[in-house]
Amino acid sequence: MSSPLKVIPLGGLGEIGQNMMVIECHQDIVVIDAGLLFPGNDMPGVELGIPDTTYLEKNRDRVKAILITHGHEDHIGALSFLLSKIDAPVYSSRLTHSLISNKLKQASIIKSANLHVVEPQKIISAGIFEFEFFRVCHSIPDSMGIAIRTPFGTIIHTGDFKIDHTPADGIPFDFDHLSRLTKDGVLLLCSDSTYAEIEGYTGSEKLVGDALDNVIKEASGRVIIVTFASLIARVQQIINSAERHQKKISLVGRSMNVNIKMALRMGYVKDSGNVIVSIKESRNLPLNKVIYIATGSQGEPNAAITRIANGNHPDINIVTGDTVVLSSSPIPGNETSVAKTIDSLFRRGARVIYSRIAPVHVRGHASREELKLMINLTKPKYFLPIHGEYRHLKAHADIAKGMGMSEKSVFVIEDGEVLEIANDGAQVAGRVPSGTIYMDSKKADETHDNIINERIALSRQGIIIASVVISGDKSSVIGSPKLRSVGFSEEHYENTALKSASKMVQVLLEEKWLKVLDWDDIESKIAETIATHIYKETRKRPIVLPILETNK
């Protein structure tokens, strides 16, 4: 046991950030989760971010297993990328397995992948490690925490979790199992920090069920409920309410249809009363018999409810008497677009109910009291807050210290930093390559910072392209410099500024620059002269791109 145990978060921070962790001991490595990041407005054009897995690629042969805690994109979305580089068995629960299979099928690598369904309590070996899944509650069924037996002791990794004593699917957090797993002591607890700032307990899914049931019962018109397609338990509660109040449900939006139909096939959702009908069928029903469940809880531009709110959904128009329930809350960064959707729905005459004014949503992560409970249940020797932004990790660390853990046993580390645990103590020891690789599409190259910066600059006040054709002997300008703009302006006044800039450049070219300057210097003089002139006239700073051509 001379080489220590290493624990390395690799996956990037952020509530919806990609999550990945590396655990290694001697020659063996296991990876927990392989998530995707959906970048925000500050990264225009970028569709996805995946973890930099250079470290794993270099140690390819040592990877004995990839363990997946649950089926959300920020935990499974980068798996196809990882499996294209590393060949290792993937272990997950049943629903997660199905979601992964769908994903890999899309990426056409299902055949080569080595996927295994694992039931909780089953002990599995992966090199020097043994691991066992335990049931937690979260906003998607079949969510697991993982106990990993290492030569130095047991690591408990919570995955994303909350503690729900009345979950909608009737499958609570498995305290029994966790207590058996921890009875010989816990070396390290890695616990979900997403909600470490929030006092108290996260509400039970049952509260939402009751609130939605009430809305459905009272509604004298249609009810449109907007939620995440992966919130399968919530859809079940809506189905139960619909049956209870003799109403019917149609699913709106592609991902809602795909997810719920899969969940129905697999038995995660039951519709014994046949309340789910097609949109077409729903049109023949009295309005007060109709419930729609739609996607778009984050104000995504192409999602069902956004199109409904904007009046351009092919199937559904808001009519007076409609009740829209946003059974969700905005992920940080989406507040403004969600607010716009709510406003638009109100303007179209809907009654709109949302989490700020009614208990129609609870979140999927543990709040401070639950986090304390987890620390108390596991009584770890060392504590590593995971999942969340830096301030969440800090807040979670403070919780642990407030419960009596010593400064030296609590670690707040960033991606790529290595937590090393040996028999004589634990320490942060160096780092491995890490970071996020941003991509404009799954087929694109990496999008580097400088490209993002160019995009942001372009979006500020557009671009002016100045094209000039010079005679081959560099003696004269052919025609006159043409200034075109995109994203700048088309107003009279600013066009005048463009025209005067063109004239200015022509005179300077012919009288001065062509005679004394090199090609490159001429280009930069053109750009500089136009930028200065435009700023002076309009106080605007578009990008200026000069294009010099010769006539032969």
Report, as residue numbers or ranges, the catalytic residues: 192, 365
Rounded Cα distance between 367 and 161, Å, is 10
Q: 290-294 and 248-252 as β-strands: parallel, antiparallel, unpaired?
A: parallel
Return the H-helix or E-strand segment holding 392.
helix 390-402
H helical segments located in 85-204 = 94-106, 175-182
Contacts (Cβ under 8 Å, ≥6 apart) of 540: 461, 488, 489, 494, 534
Instruction: Pick from 230, 241, 250, 461 the residue near a second copy by CB under 8 A.
Output: 461
Interface size with a second copy, residues (CB under 8 A): 73
Instruction: Pick from 26, 62, 346, 531 the residue near a second copy by CB under 8 A.
Output: 346
State which residue, 491 or 521, has the beta carbon closest to a second copy.
491
State which residue, 179 or 336, has the beta carbon closest to a second copy.
336
* Region of residue 185 (phi > 0: left; psi between -120 and 50: alpha; otherwise: beta): left
Question: Closest by alpha carbon to 163, among 415, 363, 395, 340?
Answer: 363
Half-sphere exposure of 233 (CA within 13 A, CB side): 26
How many angstroms separate the most distant Cα atoms in the chain? Answer: 88
469 binding a second copy? (CB under 8 A): yes
State which residue, 127 or 221, has the beta carbon closest to a second copy.
221
* Amino acid identity at 487: G
Q: Residue 438 CB, nearest distance to a second copy (Å)?
A: 12
Rounded Cα distance between 282 and 277, Å, is 7
State which residue, 66 or 544, has the beta carbon closest to a second copy.
544
Site for a second copy in 171-200 (CB under 8 A): 197
Site for a second copy in 524-543 (CB under 8 A): 537-540, 543
Q: Residue 143 CB, nearest distance to a second copy (Å)?
A: 25
Task: Extract the runs of DSSP E, i.e. beta strands, from 221-335.
Answer: 223-226, 248-252, 290-294, 323-326
Q: Residue 355 CB, nearest distance to a second copy (Å)?
A: 10
Site for a second copy in 29-48 (CB under 8 A): 40-42, 44-45
Residue 500 is classified by DSSP as H
What is the x/- site pattern for a second copy, positions 382-411, by CB under 8 A?
-------xxx--xx----------------
85 binding a second copy? (CB under 8 A): no
Q: Residue 22 CB, nearest distance to a second copy (Å)?
A: 22
State which residue, 119 or 335, has the beta carbon closest to a second copy.
335
Site for a second copy in 59-78 (CB under 8 A): none
Tokens 């690598």: give the residue: 109
State which residue, 434 or 447, has the beta carbon closest to a second copy.
447
505 binding a second copy? (CB under 8 A): no
